[in-house]
Each structure stands twice: as structure tokens, then as C-alpha cells.
Structure 1
């Protein structure tokens, strides 16, 4: 089965630095377009918790 990677519409081809996501075998896969062979695997629950935390500003001091 082929993995179908998706990226945000806010990412452009010319930048070459975007995150891509896919689902495969019940997992969420995340990779950087610059390093497509390095893949992070997680669950939808863990990714949702991270996204919710980011939306609430929990990681703002890291940027």
C-alpha cells in the first residue's frame, strides 16, 4: 500500500521546508520534506493532545 503524504496549503514548493502527514496502519506519520526518510510515528490521540497544547500556547516559549 502506498503512503499518501499531505502537507498544509500554507506550505509552498519553493520553500522546501514543510511537515507532511499521513495515516498508515492505524498510526499518524509525520516527516519533514527535507528529510523524507526520517518518519515520526504516533497515535491520533497523542497528536491531538500536542495540537491542543500548541493551540493553547503551551510551547510558545520554545519559539
Structure 2
């Protein structure tokens, strides 16, 4: 029974190290996409604020 437990623990440790190595890699394309999403969200926010301001000034 001991070798099975050892194999399971070693496999689990390998999976954790692989997950850590994949998590530490930085993908520049995903950073760029996040930047574009932030800019787009900011412009949408400005559009909504401007629209509410125009409606409130018109009334």
C-alpha cells in the first residue's frame, strides 16, 4: 500500500509544480487585451456620464 501512496503524492506534487509554472508565465497578448478592455470600459463610462449629464441639463 505504501508505494501507491507515494506514487499518488509524487503525482500530486508534479501537478502542483506544473500549475505554478504555468501561472507564473506572463502572456503579453493577454495584458494588451486587458489594457484595451480597460480603455473601452473607460470610454463607455464617459459616454454614459455625458449622456446622463445632457439629459439632466435638457430637462
Given the two structures, how large is their TM-score scaled by the length of structure 1? Answer: 0.25
The higher-RCO structure (CA 8 Å, 6+ apart) is 1
Greater gyration radius: 2
Of Structure 1 and Structure 2, which has the larger fraction of its residues in strand? 1
Given the two structures, how large is their TM-score scaled by the length of structure 2? Answer: 0.27
Of Structure 1 and Structure 2, which has the larger fraction of its residues in helix? 2
